[in-house]
Amino acid sequence: MLYKTERFFVNTYHALASTAFPRMPVPVPNVLNGDKSLDALAEHLRSKGIQRPVIFTDSFFYTLPSFQLLIDALKKRNIDYKVFNEIQPDPSYAIVEKGIAACYEHNYDCAIAIGGGSSIDGTKMINGCAKHNLDPRKITHGLMSMLQLRRKGAYFVAIPTTAGTGSEATTVTVVTDEKTNQKNALVSYGIVPDLAVFDSRLTMALPPHITAATGMDALTHAMESFMSTYATKQTDEMNLKSIQRIFKFLPRAYKNGTEDDEARIEMALASFDAGKAFSKTLLGWAHGISHQLGAFYKVPHGLGCAIALPHVLQFALPKATHRLAIIADAVGLPGATQTEKAQAVVDAVFELNRTLDINSKFDMIKEEHVSDMARNIIKEGNMAYPSHRNFDSYTHLEDFLLERKHYTHKPMAA
């Protein structure tokens, strides 16, 4: 199909979906939040009569003192837990199957995911399948999975230890097929956690470069969700609050994260709000580009988002000036006109990257890969990313990537 014809159908789809999608009743987890939330969690589980949780994490987090805080809290309340510490980045079907077996062995009544986005994503799939005896390999990909994973799993607690993915609030999980190396995204309201727990003691030790990358992932969620054509008044409120928090607290968490528990908690809440919002609005092209930077050059997801975000905002500016100007007002950026305010937001994101020692350049992109990258980005993004400005052709995106490879940003005020 010719690209312009394809875009016509995609635009029609987004116009229809923008009225229905944000009205879908996405479940929202309850929240426990503070510097002793793990103790409050153990008390909460007791009060619900939960006795046999399985804790899901990765083998590294399992060795950290932070993990012991959860174990101590459960032991104090005599809760008979089991630990499954084999979750890996981009968990495979084989890992999911082992996790399901752990639930059966322990006759579990609750799933607790503690760790980064992969631990929470893996547990979403394990819990959904274990509770209803489903074969994870037979779950269809994409939106069709909603029909198979529609029922809730056992009581599900998510304890994120990085403030960025928002996985604790979203309807999406990703599983890797180890035979084809294909990543399969599954969507279901049934996999959203019942409870999200934010305990600042868990994120205090996060190294600065991971704090920066995961924080910029959260900012990309909030900004792309705000810039989505599916955005509503309700998602705008969540996203603007999240953006305000990130501009204020991410530099603090980056520079002084081992001591600044206020910055850590505020970042966790910012990530959570953005996660809730983008479950209704979807995301944008910076995510598509980041996924390809990851696939071709192993750039971590959050870092890829950080690099792509200011370029994508600059690209969107002519068609989304008003939306960017609202962000400028929310974070107190100057500008005499809407365009100046919008440009101030782009400048501020480039500047935030500089503060976090992130180089906003696509200099890792090799010319011989650009064509494949552009095809993959458009294949993923045309349906998934309801944006105000889209690429007119594959060549348009190829040119954008190549032009930005050597781009040096000069802020408006310079």
Q: Where does this chain bind Fe ion (CB under 5 A)? A: 217
In the complex, the smallest distance separating the C-beta of residue 290 from Fe ion, rounded to whole angstroms, is 7
Q: Angle between the 37-47 and 65-76 helix axes, to the nearest 10 degrees?
A: 30
Q: Distance between CA atoms of 402 and 289, rounded to whole angstroms?
A: 13
Shorter beta-carbon distance to Fe ion: residue 218 or 342: 218
Task: Give the 3-state DSSP-derived string for 65-119, with helices as H, strands as E and coil as C.
Answer: HHHHHHHHHHHHCCCCCEEEEEECCCCEHHHHHHHHHHHHHHCCCEEEEEECHHH
- CA 239 vs CA 32, 175, 201, 375, 409: distances in Å: 20, 27, 25, 30, 26
Least distance (Å) between residue 212 CB and Fe ion: 14
Residue nearest to Fe ion (CB): 217
The span from the CA of 34 to the CA of 95, in Å, is 32
Tokens of 89: 């980045």
Would you say 170 or 390 has its CB closer to Fe ion? Answer: 170
Minimal distance, residue 186 CB to Fe ion, in Å: 16
| Rounded CA separation 63/292 (Å) | 32
Shorter beta-carbon distance to Fe ion: residue 168 or 217: 217
The residue written with tokens 């998510």 in the block is: 158
Angle at 162 between CA 56 and CA 55, to 5 degrees: 10
Nearest-approach distance from CB 137 to Fe ion, in angstroms:
26
Identify which of residues 131 and 287 has a Cβ nearer to Fe ion in the complex: 287
In the complex with Fe ion, which residue's Cβ is closer, 58 or 217?
217
The Cα 280–Cα 21 span in angstroms is: 6
Nearer to Fe ion by Cβ, of 217 and 260: the residue is 217
Residue 217 or residue 398: which is nearer to Fe ion going by CB?
217
Question: Any residues with CB less than 8 A from the CB of 404 and at least 6 apart, and which?
Answer: 311, 361, 362
Minimum CB distance to Fe ion, residue 374 (Å): 20
CB of 224 to Fe ion, least distance (A): 9
Question: In the bound complex, what is the minimum distance in angstroms from residue 326's beta carbon to Fe ion?
Answer: 22
Q: Residue 393 and residue 118: Cα distance in Å, rounded?
A: 34
Spell out where 161-293 has E strands.
172-177, 182-187, 195-199
